[in-house]
Chain A
Amino acid sequence: MTDPSRRSFMRSLGVLAGSAAVLSTAPWLASCSADKQAAVTGERARIALIGTGSRGQYHLHNLKLIPHSEVVALCDIHQPHLDEASQLFPEAKTYTDYHALLDDPDIDGVIIATPLGTHARITLDALDAGKHVFCEKAMALTLDECKEVYERYKQCDNVLYYCMQRMYDEKYIRGVQMINDGLIGDVVGMRCHWFRNADWRRDCPDPSLERLINWRLYRETSGGLMTELASHQLEVCSWVTGKMPSKIMGMGDIIHWKHDAREVYDTVNVVYKYSDGRTISYESLISNKYNGMEDQILGSRGTMNLATGLYYLEEDNSRSGIKQLLSSVRESVFSAIPAAGPSWRPETADAYIPHSILDGVTHVNNGQSTIGADHDGSEDILASFCQACITGERAVNVVEEAYSATALCLLGNKAIEEGTTIDFPDEYKIPYMKF
């Protein structure tokens, strides 16, 4: 407990959770209230990590800063990663077989940060072993696996979290709140994209390890751009609209990084259509990064760019009060200037003016790291999970949101493969979804 920055986790969420309006926008914050946070002071959740690769180690660094957690066990099938993790928590027991770890009764919760192809199996085994589970996104590699995990979750009492960190990111929460308050008018569409210029490969010391190290590139372990990147963004779309699209069409291919044996697309364009006609336009490409990463919610009166933390109004009056004042001086007219509040008389907008969702917040995730960004909600959702391992309180709708988003990702891939417009299949609908 040397780094004092741990103290700031979840504090702002505690304040947000004090507002009834925020709770109706983000019901999962109910377990983050200041009272509930205070109630676990002095207690510690005994946490184990399965998958000590790059994301796993990122979580370990954050766990060092979470006072109500204690890392007691680590597991990985790749010894060098296990050794690195062990250096961070030398006291923690180490395992190379996660089944053995799950047999340990002195573990309250497990974090699963393994390749996507293993998420469902390990999650199911961990729930069966009576552990609380925090699994990385996406939920699972296939829709059948997602359904199986969802049903098991519904039958048991364990806590289950998926690391959809935007749900715990203050600028997203406030931004969605502003949308619900009507700031940008009616939501008429969504445009999300994620662009990078990198091959997504990791150094592989030995060809026999290729599929383990570069699991992202192969279909038996990964859904490619859709599950690794789009999952976060599609979750935001279902959060904002409270609805699910009913039709999906898409195109994708390997157009640039074609000289290795990769199987997943390096470019995808998917369109999701809601029953009311609105669409989500999703695009990702990893051979040009000009457009960066953005989650744009388009409204009849403005645009909320949740990823950059900025919004823009179609008719922006915020500048024209001062313009009025300048012209009143120049024309020698003495009349009251509407000074306070967003009430300036409109003038022709020359350009869109960016407004910050959060006063003064300028750090944004540019989406270029494959590990994670600071202050993107990941620390908070993990801290919330550790608290849940003590209290047993589930986070409202987190599993449902992860299921919905993952289904959209997997259906996006399916639409690309089939080359047709597909309907959201009835067998994968859950009661949470509204179409």
Chain B
Amino acid sequence: MKASTDYYHENSMFHASATEVMGTRLDMVILGIDRAKGDLLWQQCRERLEQLEAVGSKFKADSETTAVNRAEPLSIVTVSPLFGQLLTEAIGFRQPTRGCFDVTLGSCSAVEFRSPVELVVPASGLTIDLGGYLKGRAVDDMMAVLKSGGVTDAFIDFGGSSIMGIGSHPAGKGWPVSVTDPYSRRVLATFSLRDASLSTSGNTPAYNGHIVNPATGRIVSGNRLSAIVAREALVAEVLSTTWLVADEQLRREILPQFENVYNEFVYN
């Protein structure tokens, strides 16, 4: 992670910016605090991000996810408590999303823990990809850091696709953001985020073929975009991925399983 910070005295505005974090960039804007406090909170956020990356990155050769993905079928792998916690939480979304959100990419039917830190690898082996989960978890965790630091107004943008508005922009209520069609650049919708999170998911001209339907193992292709506004970034994140995979009927069935979803749409 490469990071830098700025401070704007006249607005009491702190801005932290990072690249190479979970494969993307992160911006955090906090209002109404002094520089030292901003640095402190940002430091805490960074530590959390680093912990999450060490556990969850499927690309880092030394991450726990990599180790688990390489483990022999039926072996028992010792994992950190954090890994166990994250995996359990991530897998927990499989049922309410009717299998549409599956961090195991359909590679197993159940993950069994012999103890909180001992994972039993199923006979089929495991392929875990926490990619669609981790950013949402990270945004919620950063929000918790900010809230516990007494922050009332802030804006977090993780990779342009996971966004959280806490409190309000100084000139209005909430934080207004718009979603645009990456192909036509037309504005598709505008949302006001006030203690709410927006997650968008979909193919862009630049990045295609990263979403896999776990049921079929096939890549979701074409110009399809989903947007979810929810109180929790993680819920928004999970549902925006789910919305790309699930059809209309299934989406109606899944929606009531989640609380505090304020807005949702999918655009073809």
Name A residues whose Cβ lies closer than 8 Å to a Cβ of B.
Answer: 4-5, 7-8, 11, 15-16, 18-22, 34, 174, 177-178, 181-183, 311, 318-319, 321-322, 325-326, 328-330, 332-344, 353-356, 358-363
Closest A residue, CB atoms, query B240: A340
B contact residues around A328 at 8 Å (CB): 169, 171
Which chain B residues lie closer than 8 Å to A11 at the CB level? 127
List of 9 A-B pairs having minimum Cβ-Cβ separation, nearest first: A359-B23, A360-B23, A339-B177, A343-B180, A334-B172, A334-B171, A340-B200, A336-B176, A19-B219
Q: How far is the CA of A18 from the CA of B210 in the complex (A)?
A: 12
- Closest A residue by C-beta to B13: A329
- In the complex, A363→B22 CA distance in Å? 14
Q: Does B163 contact A (CB under 8 A)?
A: yes
Contact B160–A332 (Cβ < 8 Å): no
Q: Mark B193-205, 1 if CB is under 8 A from A, else 0.
A: 0000010101011
Given A342-B204, A342-B205; 10 other pairs, CB 8 A cutoff: A318-B25, A322-B27, A328-B171, A330-B10, A336-B176, A337-B175, A338-B178, A341-B182, A360-B23, A363-B59
- Is B235 located at the chain interface by the 8 A CB criterion? no
Contact B177 A337, beta carbon cutoff 8 Å: yes
A183 to B27, CA, bound (A): 24
If A340-B177, A341-B200, A359-B24 touch, whether A330 touches B182 (CB-CB below 8 Å) is no
B59, A183: Cβ atoms closer than 8 Å: no
Q: Which residues of chain B have C-beta atoms less than 8 A from A362's C-beta? A: 20, 59-60
- B209 to A340, Cβ gap below 8 A? no
CA distance A20 to B219 in the complex (A): 9
Given contacts A337-B175, A342-B204, contact A18 B219 (CB under 8 A): yes
Please list 9 pairs of residues, one from A and one from B, whose beta carbons are closer than 8 Å in the complex, sorted by A's number. A7-B70, A21-B219, A181-B205, A330-B8, A334-B169, A338-B187, A340-B198, A341-B161, A360-B22
Partner of A339, one of B61, B163, B212: B163
How distant is the Cα of A215 from the Cα of B57 in the complex, in angstroms? 42
Question: A353 contacts which chain B residues (CB < 8 A)?
Answer: 19
Chain B 1-27, CB within 8 Å of chain A: the 1/0 string? Answer: 000000010110101010110111101
Closest B residue to A356 using CB positions: B23
Contacts of B172 in A (CB 8 A): 334
- How long is the Cα–Cα vector from A328 to B17 in the complex, in angstroms? 17
Q: Does B225 contact A (CB under 8 A)?
A: yes
Minimum CB–CB distance for A318 against chain B, Å: 7
Q: Which residues of A contact B208 (CB under 8 A)?
A: 21, 177-178, 181
Are A359 and B210 in touch, CB under 8 angstroms?
yes
Distance to closest chain A CB from B163 (angstroms): 5
The docked-state distance in angstroms from the alpha carbon of A95 to that of B69 is 38
Are B60 and A336 interface neighbours, CB within 8 A? no
Q: How far is the CB of B6 from chain A (nearest CB, A)?
A: 8
| B interface residue numbers (CB < 8 A to A) | 8, 10-11, 13, 15, 17, 19-20, 22-25, 27, 29, 31, 57-61, 69-72, 75, 105, 125, 127, 131, 155, 157, 160-161, 163, 169-172, 175-182, 185, 187, 190, 198, 200, 202, 204-210, 212, 217-219, 221, 225, 227
Residues of B within 8 A of A339 (CB): 157, 160, 163, 177-179, 198
B29 touches A326 (CB 8 A): yes
Given A18-B218, A330-B11, are A340 and B72 also a contact pair (CB < 8 Å)?
no
Q: Which of A7, A15, A326, A334 contacts B176 (CB 8 A)?
A: A334
Contact A174 B209 (CB under 8 A): yes
Provide the residues of chain A in CB contact with B212, threshold 8 Å. Answer: 15, 18
Measured CB to CB, the closest approach of chain A to B203, in angstroms, equals: 9
Q: B60, B208, B218: which has the most chain A beta carbons within 10 Å? A: B208
Separation in Å of the A50 CB from the closest CB of chain B? Answer: 30
Q: Are B75 and A359 in contact (CB under 8 A)?
A: no
B10 to chain A, nearest CB (A): 7
- Shortest Cβ gap from B56 to chain A (Å): 10
Which residues does chain A contribute within 8 Å of B206, judged by CB atoms?
A: 178, 181, 183, 311, 342, 355
In this complex, what residue of A is CB-closest to B135? A359
- Is A19 a contact of B209 with CB atoms below 8 Å? yes
Please state if A8 and B161 are interface contacts (CB–CB under 8 Å): no
Whole-angstrom distance from the CB of A174 to the nearest CB of chain B? 7
A318 to B212: give the CA distance in the assembly, Å.
Answer: 25
CB-defined contacts of B15 to chain A, threshold 8 Å: 322, 326
B196 → chain A, closest Cβ, in Å?
12
Kindly identify which residue among A18, A354, A360 contacts B59, using a CB–CB cutoff of 8 Å.
A360
Q: Is the CB of A7 within 8 A of B157?
A: no
Please indicate the chain B residues that have their CB under 8 angstroms from the CB of A178 in the complex: 206-208
On whether the beta carbons of A8 and B69 are closer than 8 Å, the reply is: yes
**B177: chain A residues within 8 A (beta carbon):** 336-340
A183 to B71, CA, bound (A): 37
CA distance A339 to B58 in the complex (A): 27
Query: B160 and A326: CB pair below 8 A?
Result: no
Residues of B within 8 A of A311 (CB): 206
Per the bound structure, the CA–CA distance linking A361 and B8 in Å amounts to 34
Please give me the residue from chain B that is nearest to A311 by CB atom.
Answer: B206
Q: Looking at A5, A15, A177, A311, which has the most chain B CB atoms within 10 Å of its CB?
A: A15
Contact of A336 among B10, B59, B178 (CB under 8 A): B178
Q: Do A340 and B176 have beta carbons less than 8 Å apart?
A: no
Give A183 to B219 CA distance when docked, in angstroms: 19
Give, as a whole number of angstroms, the nearest-CB distance from B27 to chain A. Answer: 4
CB contacts (< 8 Å) of A361 on chain B: these are 23, 59
- Looking at the complex, which one of B25, B31, B221 makes contact with A19 (CB distance below 8 Å)? B221
CB atoms of B217 and A329 under 8 A apart: no
User: A343 → chain B, closest Cβ, in Å?
Assistant: 4
Q: Is the pair A329, B161 in contact by a Cβ cutoff of 8 Å? A: no
Residue in A4, A19, A332, A354 with the greatest tally of chain B CB atoms within 10 Å: A4
Q: A318-B160, A341-B204 are in contact. Are A8 and B70 (CB under 8 A)?
A: yes
State in angstroms the CA–CA spacing of A391 and B233 once bound together. 47
**Cβ of A5: which chain B residues have Cβ within 8 Å of it?**
70
Query: Nearest Cβ distance between residue A245 and chain B, in whole angstroms?
Result: 28
| Docked complex Cα distance between A183 and B183 (Å) | 11
| CB-CB nearest in chain B for A173 | B209
Chain B residues contacting A4 (CB-CB under 8 Å) are 70-72, 75
Residues in A with CB closer than 8 Å to B217 are: 15, 18, 34
Considering the chains assembled together, what is the distance between the CA atoms of A325 and B202 in angstroms?
A: 24
A343 to B169 Cα, complex, angstroms: 21
Whether A322 contacts B29 by the Cβ 8 Å rule is yes
Among the listed B8, B69, B70, B202, which residue makes an inter-chain contact with A326, where contact means beta carbons less than 8 Å apart?
A: B8
In the complex the two chains form, is B29's CB within 8 Å of A340's CB? Answer: no
